[in-house]
């Protein structure tokens, strides 16, 4: 046992142990030589679960999904060189969707950098602005100062990854040879293992407005007749209950993005609007529903109709409540950016309003609110009924999944068309269903890996993806095989980029298939077989319903493919939206007639 060898081992052990004390329980390891010290010591820590994943791109997305599902930081480690570069896509997604990732990379030591040594690239600040914090670690030493330092960096990395906005941090470790640590004796855990207290604690803190500002705001809101709450993607336990209570106090309808987690669960959904994406497309309907004030939570909703609705009405006073201290307003029309934790904000305003309202009259339900609720009810009914009738219609996949998902399941949704179809066809339910997606940068990459990462804690898990998204992360399927994960994947296979049939590119048939349609002509049954999964191509929706109903009993990887037609699907979407909106308008006219 050389001195350098001992220093390396104790240094890495102190670092990993402090990660564990700071509540990191999982590390995704990709094989490599330079990263040997971290990999080998991690495998020795009794409270650290090692997940092997060969492709670093998939590995990082797997960790991202796991971190997201657990709402806890997860570590990843890889060797030097392009291995690091393969982390980039998931790091970008983690940054944009505020997922705490602890990115550990091994590097050549200083004397072997920028001199043509093998597998050495410039890893300093490698992720640029895509990480919250970068640290070039000290060369391993065994002095008390350096061990205290390495523990502090570990604690700070975890804390930084968690503080709002959460996100990835990157620590780069220069390691000299020999790279094999001492794992044969317990001496490397110089100060006991992870069940002890942290060396440095960094308790959670939250953003909140001043009391006086809150009071003013509450007073203002009480004067508002037509107020609308918009909840975009937001994953904050307890938020649904609080925002609903707050909205009911003011009689404000609530636009609930599928990723707001407002559409599922036991809370009251009287004011929770889920079919806005259909009826806000109609100019006449939208005009009738314009509010005076909008209060927005979370990221911007998936629905483009909502965005256009806000942009077309610059007179609306838009107030954006952001718990992360961000400035997320793609409309560029906000009149107020409030940096306050959404749960705390709703609770506090609700409390003030309750005190005030008790002295005043009951809230009056106005016709405008009724119009919102009626439009939503009718749109929902038409969408559900027609959607269930249409063959080869991608919306029906969502309807079938939504109708049959068991209690406490997780639905992971691919980008592009699936998330939009979930927006349209996943209606309010009392069942507890968590909906997840990679909605930071909205990529079609890494989706299988992220979903499988989530499946390690969220079971049963159903992943709904298009064929290009499925193709993009085929390597991700390996995790299901290696780690014996249970998951049901539904591929809506329309042979290419279905979303482009909804965009103006589709009006130019020349080169459309080459550049946008991009049919791949792949029979995915082969690759699913290679990864030891079950594959079934279905042509009857009843089969899909049954599969979803039974997803709890599925062991291993279960892939179901539904074939659809891209341009037909776009047509059917347009038809259903049109009929829904015509029905709403007819009903409104009748209503008006009745009132006369």
Q: How far apart are CA 509 and CA 507, in angstroms?
A: 6
Stretch that binds a second copy, among 54-62, 242-250, 375-383, 588-596 (CB under 8 A): 54-62
Maximum alpha-carbon separation in the chain:
94
Q: Does 197 bind a second copy (CB under 8 A)?
A: no
The answer to whether residue 510 forms part of the interface with a second copy (CB under 8 A) is yes
Neighbours of 248 (CB within 10 A): 15
Least CB distance to a second copy at residue 92 (A): 4
Separation between Cα atoms, residue 247 and residue 243, nearest integer Å: 6
Shortest Å, Cβ 433 to a second copy: 24
Of 4, 50, 224, 579, the one binding a second copy by CB under 8 A: 50
Total number of residues that touch a second copy (CB under 8 A): 92
Burial environment of residue 282 by CB neighbours within 10 A (0 to 12, 13 to 18, 19 or more): buried
Here's the x/- map for a second copy, 428-457, by CB under 8 A: it reads as -------------xxx-xx-----------
Question: Is residue 460 reached through a cis peptide bond, with omega within 30 degrees of 0 on the bond before it?
Answer: yes
Asked if 51 contacts 29 with a C-beta cutoff of 8 angstroms, the reply is: yes
The region of 172-180, 282-290, 389-397, 583-591 touching a second copy under the rule CB under 8 A is: 172-180
Q: Which is nearer to a second copy, 270 or 529 (CB)?
A: 529
Q: What share of the chain is helix, strand, coil (3-state, %, to 5)?
A: 45, 15, 40
Residue 73 binds to a second copy (criterion: CB under 8 A): no
Segment contacting a second copy (CB under 8 A): 27-35, 145-153, 244-252, 451-459? 27-35
Q: Which of 73, 89, 342, 414 binds a second copy (CB under 8 A)?
A: 89
Q: Does 545 bind a second copy (CB under 8 A)?
A: no
Q: Is there binding between residue 474 and a second copy (CB under 8 A)?
A: yes
Closest approach of a second copy to the CB of residue 7, in Å: 17
Instruction: Copy the structure tokens of residue 189.
Output: 């855990």
Task: For residue 304, give the 3-state DSSP assignment.
Answer: helix
Kindly list the strands in the beta sheet with 317-321, ordered across the sheet, starting from the edge strand earlier in the chain.
Answer: 272-273, 254-256, 227-231, 293-297, 317-321, 334-338
Q: What DSSP line would sit under 313-329, residue for residue?
A: -TTSEEEEE-TTS----
| Window 289 to 318, contacts with a second copy (CB under 8 A) | 299-300
φ, ψ of residue 96 to 5 degrees: the values are: -75, -30
CB of 29 to a second copy, least distance (A): 6
534 or 545: CB nearest a second copy: 534
Give the C-alpha separation, 130 to 84, whole Å: 13
Give the torsion sign (CA, 214, 220, 222, 227): negative
| DSSP three-state, residue 230 | strand
With binding defined as CB under 8 A, does residue 468 bind a second copy? Answer: yes
81 forms part of the interface with a second copy (CB under 8 A): yes
Range in contact with a second copy (rule: CB under 8 A) among 42-50, 404-412, 537-545, 547-555: 42-50
Residue 590's CB: how many other CB atoms inside 10 A? 10
| Type and span of the H or E element at 107 | strand 101-107
- Binder of a second copy out of 195, 210, 526, 596 (CB under 8 A): 526
**DSSP designation for 112:** G
The torsion angles phi and psi of 350, rounded to 5 degrees, stand at: -60, -40
Q: Does 507 bind a second copy (CB under 8 A)?
A: yes
**Does 68 participate in binding a second copy (rule CB under 8 A)?**
no
Binder of a second copy out of 192, 520, 540, 592 (CB under 8 A): 520
Which residue in the block uniquely carries the two structure tokens 């002295």? Answer: 359
Q: Tell me if 414 contacts a second copy by CB under 8 A.
A: no
CB of 396 to a second copy, least distance (A): 25
Minimal distance, residue 202 CB to a second copy, in Å: 26
Among positions 105-144, residues that touch a second copy (CB under 8 A) are 111-112, 114-122, 125-126, 128-130
Applying the rule CB under 8 A, the residues between 475 and 504 that interact with a second copy are: 475, 478, 481-482, 497, 499-500, 503-504
Name which of 82 and 268 has its Cβ closer to a second copy: 82
Among 138, 139, 146, 183, contact with a second copy (rule: CB under 8 A): 183
> Among residues 123 and 160, whose Cβ is nearest to a second copy?
123
Instruction: Candidates 4, 373, 522, 554: give the one binding a second copy (CB under 8 A).
Output: 522
In the complex, the smallest distance separating the C-beta of residue 540 from a second copy, rounded to whole angstroms, is 25
Judge contact between 494 and 467, C-beta under 8 A.
Answer: yes
**3-class secondary structure for 8-23?**
HHHHHHHHHHHHHHCC
Number of other CB atoms surrounding residue 163 within 10 Å: 17
> In this structure, are residues 79 and 32 in contact, taking their beta carbons and an 8 Å threshold?
yes
If binding is defined by CB under 8 A, does position 516 make contact with a second copy?
yes
- Of residues 331-350, those binding a second copy (CB under 8 A): 332
Q: Which is nearer to a second copy, 20 or 59 (CB)?
A: 59
């Amino acid at each position: 046992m050389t001195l350098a060898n001992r220093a390396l081992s104790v240094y890495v052990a102190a670092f990993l142990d402090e990660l564990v004390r700071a509540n990191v329980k999982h590390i995704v390891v990709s094989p490599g030589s330079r990263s040997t010290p971290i990999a080998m010591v991690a495998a020795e820590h009794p409270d650290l679960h090692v997940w092997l994943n060969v492709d670093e791109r998939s590995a990082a997305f797997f960790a991202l999904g796991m971190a997201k599902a657990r709402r806890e930081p997860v570590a990843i480690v890889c060797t030097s060189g392009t291995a690091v570069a393969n982390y980039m896509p998931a790091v970008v997604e983690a940054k944009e969707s505020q997922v705490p990732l602890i990115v550990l990379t091994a590097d050549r030591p200083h004397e072997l950098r920028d001199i043509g040594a093998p597998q050495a690239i410039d890893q300093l600040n490698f992720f640029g602005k895509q990480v919250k914090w970068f640290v070039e670690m000290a060369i391993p030493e065994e002095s008390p100062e350096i061990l205290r330092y390495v523990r502090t960096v570990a604690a700070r990395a975890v804390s930084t990854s968690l503080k709002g906005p959460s996100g990835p941090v990157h620590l780069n470790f220069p390691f000299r040879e020999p790279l094999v640590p001492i794992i044969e004796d317990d001496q490397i855990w110089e100060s006991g293992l992870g069940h002890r207290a942290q060396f440095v604690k960094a308790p959670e803190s939250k953003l909140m407005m001043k009391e006086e500002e809150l009071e003013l705001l509450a007073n203002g809101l009480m004067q508002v007749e037509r107020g609308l709450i918009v909840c975009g993607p937001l994953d904050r336990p307890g938020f649904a209950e609080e925002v609903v209570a707050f909205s009911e106090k003011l009689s404000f309808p609530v636009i609930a993005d599928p990723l707001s987690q407002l559409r599922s669960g036991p809370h009251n959904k009287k004011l929770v609007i889920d079919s806005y994406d259909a009826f806000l497309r109609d100019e006449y309907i939208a005009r009738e529903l314009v509010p005076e004030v909008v209060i927005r939570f979370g990221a911007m909703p998936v629905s483009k109709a909502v965005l256009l609705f806000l942009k077309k009405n610059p007179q609306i006073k838009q107030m954006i409540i952001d718990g992360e201290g961000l400035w997320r307003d793609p409309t560029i029309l906000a009149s107020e950016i409030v940096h306050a934790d959404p749960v705390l904000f709703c609770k506090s305003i609700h409390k003030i309003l309750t005190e005030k309202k008790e002295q005043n009259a009951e809230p009056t339900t106005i016709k405008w609110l009724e119009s919102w609720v009626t439009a939503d009810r009718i749109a929902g009914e038409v969408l559900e009924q027609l959607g269930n009738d249409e063959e080869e219609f991608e919306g029906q996949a969502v309807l079938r999944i939504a109708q049959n998902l068991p209690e406490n399941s997780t639905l992971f949704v691919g980008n592009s068309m699936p998330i939009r179809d979930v927006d349209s066809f996943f209606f309010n339910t009392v069942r507890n269903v968590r909906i997840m997606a990679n909605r930071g940068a909205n990529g079609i990459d890494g989706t299988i890996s992220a979903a499988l990462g989530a499946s390690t804690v969220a079971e049963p898990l159903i992943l709904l993806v298009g064929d290009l998204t499925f193709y993009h992360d085929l390597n991700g399927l390996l995790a299901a095989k290696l780690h014996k994960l249970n998951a049901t994947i539904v591929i809506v296979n329309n042979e290419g980029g279905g979303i482009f049939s909804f965009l103006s590119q589709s009006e130019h048939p020349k080169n459309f298939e080459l550049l946008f349609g991009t049919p791949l002509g792949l029979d995915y049954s082969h690759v699913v077989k290679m990864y030891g999964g079950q594959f079934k191509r279905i042509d009857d929706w009843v089969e899909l319903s049954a599969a979803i109903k039974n997803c709890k009993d599925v062991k291993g990887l279960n892939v179901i493919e539904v074939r659809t037609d891209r341009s037909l699907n776009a047509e059917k979407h347009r038809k259903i939206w049109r009929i829904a909106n015509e029905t709403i308008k007819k009903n409104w006219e009748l209503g008006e007639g009745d009132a006369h």
